[in-house]
Amino acid sequence: MKGTCPRCEEQPKSVQAETTHVIVGGRERKAIQFLCSSCQAILSVQFDPRERDIDLSERLVRDLRSQLRR
Ligand SMILES: [Zn+2]
């Protein structure tokens, strides 16, 4: 069963992905939005997975530094 666009009710042949930003707690984060190829309606938005990797790296460095201070 194929999904239909909630705006134009077409079954998009493909979905366009574009970079965008979302604001979380006042901090701008990279995200990806998925657009209907027929009418450009936004179908979905998700965090850029690369952004999550950067977050994880930052947290690991912070945790390791705090461990070294003990
Ligand atoms: Zn559409």
Q: Indicate whether 1 belongs to any domain.
A: no
Q: Which residue has the higher pLDDT, 9 or 70?
A: 9
- Domain total for the chain? 1
Residue 32 C-alpha to ligand 1 middle, in angstroms?
17
For the chain, the C-alpha Rg in angstroms (whole number) is 18
- How many Å apart are CA 48 and CA 30, to the nearest integer? 6
Q: What is the pLDDT of residue 50?
A: 82
Distance 8 CA to ligand 1 centre (A): 4
Inside any domain, residue 3: no
Residue 4 falls within a domain, yes or no? no
Domain assignment of residue 2, yes or no: no
The three-class DSSP label of residue 37 is: coil
Q: Which residues contact 39 (CB under 8 A, 6 or more apart)?
A: 5, 7, 8, 10
pLDDT of residue 38 exceeding 90 = yes
Instruction: Decide if 55 is inside a domain.
Output: yes
Confirm whether 32 is domain-assigned: yes
What value does the mean pLDDT of the chain take? 90
Sequential DSSP letters for 2-31: ----TTT----SSEEEEEEEEEETTEEEEE
How many angstroms does the Cα of residue 36 sit away from the middle of ligand 1? 5
**How many whole angstroms from 20 Cα to the centroid of ligand 1?**
19
The alpha carbon of 41 and the centre of ligand 1 are apart by a number of angstroms equal to: 5
Residues spanned by the domain of 53: 15-69
Within-domain flag for 8: no
Instruction: Give the residue-averaged pLDDT of 9-29.
Output: 93
